[in-house]
Amino acid sequence: MTRRQMIQTGAAFGFGAALSTPAMASKLKVRKTNGEVMETKGPLDEDAELPTNEMSDGKRYRPEYRMGLGGLAAGNGFNTISTDETILGMLDAAWESGVRYFDTSPFYGLSLSERRFGDLLRNKKREDYVLSTKVGRLLTPSAEPLPKKWHWANHSPFHYHYDYTAEGTRRSIEDSLHRMGMASLDIVFIHDLSPQNSDMGKDWTKYYDEAVKGAMPELTKMREEGIIKAWGFGVNTAHAVHKALDVADFDICLLALQYSLLDHQDALERTFPALDERDISVVVGAPLNGGFLAGRNRFNYSPEIPQPMSDKFSQISGIAEKHGIDIKTAALQFAEAPSTVSAIIPGARTKEQIEENVESMKVQIPEAFWAELKAKELIAQNAPVPG
């Protein structure tokens, strides 16, 4: 019995039901690990496959695979040094675990993430995976490290400058293809057009205007040429997404820090409905709030943890424990549940983190857990939940 069949028959709504037959019990287990990863708790359907999207003609592009991998950690994000061997071991584990959607960016480690992803993917059949990267920054060689405000440890010897012109966009994509050893991309995101970007601040609209005349029509042209299948915005706030709805023909958006178990109301009320009207889907970035929902001592990209988020984490963790699961598992499945969402891309640095994230997608979460969160107003009443 698959995970979907178990949910449809009600087997996932209580642990007694889920373990009621010898055949079912043989396919479910409770797995715990120690070390730097949060334990994955709950009854696990080992035969469950990672979720996919149904491919439909006549609709906008959606990646086939709903469970992906974000590439920030592969660029030594958060000033944490990882060796090529460690990252390639993580990427190999992702592939072996069934992950087939990979998202990266020239900015992550200033080409380091793209190079490492290419080490895994260039030897795979191109039709067997989905790959997305980003445009908006061009890299230039430099022996000087970046200012310490950026969180890349031991990054590649480059600096960057912003370029959202048509020429810069095409060059950025060509550079990425060369770094990764690819002939084509599936998705390209216009990166970091947001007032939250500390480089830009209030001047972000200047770069947005440049992208309206340059990057946006150029990406549409490259989609028509078959170099890419889809394009959109990869942003930490939705300002550019809303501004562009009436001026550009984009397919998909990577929204980071905007839809998670802890913070999702604005996306549900404003952004998702606006995108649904145009059949534009969402890739959820940072579904674990930068590792916070996996037990890390940071919230989003900051070591400063807001007290309301800390309080909500404690409350949800307690309820999860009562129902025999963990908050990371709940967070990943929650982020993947909306119909607007076409994929989630949690990050990982080690193969153990990958394995735990994948197992979290196969845990049977009791319906009563979600009901209790809504009853205690810890998640929105209209928030979609698994099943």
Q: Annotated active-site positions, please?
A: 108
Query: In sequence order, which residues have a C-beta less than 8 Å from that of residue 140 and are 6 or more positions away?
Result: 158, 159, 160, 161
Residue for token digits 């460690």? 86
HSE-CB for 191 with a 13 A CA cutoff: 23
SS3 232: strand
∠ Cα 237 164 272 (to 5°): 30
- The DSSP code for 1 is -
> What are the residues whose beta carbons fall under 8 Å from the beta carbon of 157, sequence distance 6 or more?
110, 141, 142, 143
Q: What are phi and psi of 134, to 5 degrees?
A: -135, 160
In the three-class reduction of DSSP (H, G, I as helix; E, B as strand; rest coil), residue 118 is classed as helix
Query: Over the Cα atoms of the chain, what is R_g?
Result: 20
Strand bridging mode 68-70 / 101-103 = parallel
Burial of 385 (0-12, 13-18, 19+ CB in 10 A): middle
Report residue 356 as tokens: 């735990």
Alpha carbon separation from 85 to 116, 207, 208 (Å, rounded): 10, 37, 38
- Name the residue among 286, 282, 262 with its Cα closest to residue 273: 282
